[in-house]
Amino acid sequence: MALVIVVSMAGCGYHLRGSVELPTEMARTHIDGNALQRKLTRELAERLRSNGVEVVKSKQAATAQLRILKMTSDRRTLTTGGKGDVQEYELYTEVVFDLRDSQGVILLEPQHVSVTRYLFFDPLKVRAKAGEMAEMRKKMNSAIVRQMLLRLRHAAPAKEAQ
């Protein structure tokens, strides 16, 4: 019975949450991002490794280059109380990235991925809310990385991208 379930799930394209089939061009990938994106690129590298990709530090050693072109992460005030105190924030993160092969040929055009979350704020619990906001940001980065991996699996092989 278990075998029937596994075979039927595999046949319909179901994969475990962390598992994504990535293009063979990504066998050795260099992640090009700046210091401000370190938390995101660290998690991205971990997820790529868990999917069989060797993440390399040198562009020259890479078969593909994953470029983080832009990352915006901020918060907006959504609602305020009668005294002007913040009651709710909108947290958002947006990332723009592309993928190129070792020759610079575009395998995946620039992609925009974003995540938005809402945080109710209590000025009497500033420390607790700061911790909650940090945890929410961490989860948002994870969601961004998942979206990126899903987009990366659709990258065109170099011969088709030219």
Confidence of residue 43 (pLDDT cuts 50, 70, 90): very high
Averaged pLDDT, 3-12: 47
Question: Is residue 83 scored above 60 in pLDDT?
Answer: yes
Q: Which candidate, 56, 53, 93, places its Cα nearest to that of 73?
A: 93
Q: How do strand 64-80 and strand 28-32 relate by DSSP bridges?
A: parallel
Question: Average of pLDDT values for 105-127?
Answer: 88
What sign for the dihedral angle of Cα 142, 145, 151, 156?
negative
Q: What is the DSSP letter of 121?
A: -
Handedness of CA 17, 22, 27, 29 (dihedral sign): negative
- Which sequence spans correspond to the domains of the chain? 22-161
For residues 31 and 8, the model is more confident at 31
Domain 22-161, CATH: 3.30.160.150
Instruction: Quote the pLDDT of residue 126.
Output: 66
Confidence of residue 106 (pLDDT cuts 50, 70, 90): very high
User: pLDDT tens-digit profile of 140-157?
Assistant: 999 999 999 999 998 877
